[in-house]
Amino acid sequence: MPRWDGLDLETEGTGISEPLSRQVNLLGSMLGQVTREQIGEELFEAVEALRLLCKRAEQEDDPSLRAEAADRIAALDDEAITQLLHVYTTFFHLVNQAEQQEIIRINRERARRSGPADWPLGPGSGNGRADAQPRAESIDAAVATLKEEGYSLDEVVALFEQLDIQPTLTAHPTEARRRTVLRKQKRIADLLATLDEADATPAERAETLDDLYAQIALLLGTDEIRADRPTVHEEVEQGHYFLHGPIWDTIANIHRDVQHALRRHYDATAEVPAFLQYRSWIGSDRDGNPNVTADVTRWTFARQRRDTIEHYLEELEQLRDDLSLSQRQITASDALLASIEADAQEVVLADESLHQYRHEPYRLKLCYVEARLEDLLDRIDATDVEQMAADYTADDLLADLDLLAESLNEHGFEDAGRSGRLHRLRSLVKTFGFHLAALDVRQHSGVHEETVAALLRAAGVEADYAGLSEADKLAVLEAELTNPRPLVADHDALPAPAAEMMEVFEVIRALRAVDPDAVGSYIVSMTHTVSDLLEPMLLAKEAGLGAVADGAFQCPIDMVPLFETIDDLDAADDRMETLFTHPVYAAHLEGRDGFQEIMLGYSDSNKDGGYWMANWALHKAIHNLGVVCDDNDVDLRLFHGRGGT
């Protein structure tokens, strides 16, 4: 294998920075050598000739060169085309990693130009740096702007409390990249970062280059996509790769950056809520996917709960290493000591731990926390949701961590309480709870209608509900939604599709009993009428999810209409106006504190009307929905189904 240290690479790139061009050329050179070794000189020559030809065609804007490139591709057999595509795809993935490293490099360079961080960082230090400019487009810059505009610390915190950002991972089996490929790409990114380190020794650079070459060789020799369509379980695992990987760490870093900005510009710290939380459709979105069953949703919840608690245990172990404070050196708060005494009455610790940490109250408290979390792990059962119920909740965990922070703050360790591992873990618990990402459930409005029809038929209330007019449907739904008695005692006796739909609502009820944050919204695809929203509410009532009180049904989850066609977007405000003024839905809305989430479909509206018409329809719908919600004193949250990274 060639040695790459000191390789003289010509910068071919135009319009990109020299560091990025240098990395792209290095990756391309390595991939070229790997292609020769793995696939052969003939294919390498074909790849390189085609690359240069396409480059000339673009630079010279020459149609004849484009035609020549097309002819060369057409002359290849299927195997050669497959190999050529694999090489080019690998190259594009490598370039993506280089581009990400370039973004990091630019941001770090901006941060360096912004000046050094303030120190000490604690409140009352009086060491604010008015002369240092924040990095452009950063949280620091945003807080600096608020300070310049005269906002007080309390007003800035109030702004954070109003933020409610919920990125949502949707279920896409077309996300074909395997986790093994993602891990290799991550390893390559780390190696590129190492090469950028100015203080790397020649030996370290040589070792890094050798390792980079080996990783590229392994990447080219790896199947990029799965041989079979992924199962729902595999989709869940794919989502967890991101949630428990880059997202997990990024959340903690964002909260850290907020605290640093507040300290820098207001010379103070403040409790900032979890303004960024996650939702997921993976394992719960059943619209058109028969593989997402009630059992799959139970399994998904159990898996998310288990993985999240296990990650907390890892974080707690590291935190326990940090908090080595001894009562022989410092004092702990009375509240913390009282909490430890209460824990001792409820949790049995090993004698070894009790003896080892008898003078270290912070570590002893964390041992009790760990024991409670391990008990939660023992309760997890993917088939028996009720078994997972326990007295110790994510709020209890956060309260225990807050107790540690308050004790540290009271006794001269403000920074340890407001930053570092303790602050990181508190931010994670605020954001992810024990559920990781709230599961949204989505189903087509037609399935709800069929299930309601089956229930009414089995109960002897209405033989042909689907054949009724909208007005007659609403009359039936209103009567049933204000009647506390269930329609059918045994849902298993219903036709199979209706029984499965009822089991979904029963699972939602069971999940919420274990963790109210486990389920996000209930989304109704193809919402056309008021009955399309009242039907799933009736199914929720039938499953014991919510109850009739004072003559009105109160549903504990948000019913979200999804407007996705051009016609639906155009009519969305009129439909919501009718819904808001319907007595049954108005009572539900009152129970939700006047809050309504509405989802807008981007892909279906593009398919329906094309890009420009869809965007115009979406623009109008967003404006009109804001007006109708304001007129009806409804607090609106828009769920933009536009997709993206």
Q: Are strands 438-444 and 519-525 parallel, antiparallel or unpaired?
A: parallel
Label residue 10 by pLDDT band (50, 70, 90). very low
Q: Convert the pLDDT of each residue in 58-111 to its tens digit.
A: 888 888 888 888 888 888 888 888 888 888 888 888 988 888 888 888 877 777
Structure-token pair, residue 144: 């600096």
- Phi then psi dihedrals of residue 636, to 5 deg: -100, 135
Q: Which of 100, 107, 104, 81 is nearest to 27 (CA)?
A: 100
pLDDT of residue 131: 55
* pLDDT of 12 above 80: no
Token pair 């807008």 in the structure block, residue: 600
Hey, CA dihedral for 157, 420, 426, 643, is it positive or negative?
A: positive
pLDDT, greater one: 528 or 110: 528
3-class state of residue 114 by DSSP: coil
For residues 543-565, average pLDDT: 92
Token pair 């360079």 in the structure block, residue: 109
Give the highest mean pLDDT range of 17-31, 92-106, 141-155. 141-155
pLDDT of residue 127: 45
Structure-token pair, residue 419: 């930053």
pLDDT of residue 176: 52
End-to-end CA distance of the chain: 36
pLDDT of residue 644: 64
* pLDDT of 122 above 50: no
Contacts of 474 (CB under 8 A, 6+ apart): 530, 531, 534, 582
For the chain, give the percent of residues with pLDDT over 90: 52
pLDDT of residue 466: 95
pLDDT of residue 28: 86
Q: Convert the pLDDT of each residue in 413-468 to its tens digit.
A: 777 667 789 999 999 999 999 999 999 999 999 999 999 999 999 999 999 999 99
pLDDT of residue 126: 44
Mean pLDDT of the residues in the chain: 87
For residues 467-486, average pLDDT: 95
Q: Which of 334, 333, 321 is nearest to 411 (CA)?
A: 333
Q: Convert the pLDDT of each residue in 346-362 to its tens digit.
A: 999 999 998 898 999 99
pLDDT, greater one: 409 or 509: 509
pLDDT, greater one: 18 or 640: 640
pLDDT of residue 426: 95
Hey, CA dihedral for 554, 560, 563, 569, is it positive or negative?
A: positive
Label residue 21 by pLDDT band (50, 70, 90). confident
Q: Which of 595, 605, 477, 466 is nearest to 542 (CA)?
A: 477
* pLDDT of 165 above 50: yes
Which residues are annotated as catalytic? 172, 607
* pLDDT of 386 above 60: yes
Q: Is 155 exposed, middle or buried (0-12, 13-18, 19+ CB in 10 A)?
A: exposed
Structure-token pair, residue 50: 């085609």
For residues 468-475, average pLDDT: 96
281-290, 309-318, 625-634: the lowest-pLDDT one: 281-290
Pseudo-torsion of CA 169, 173, 177, 178, nearest 10°? Answer: 100
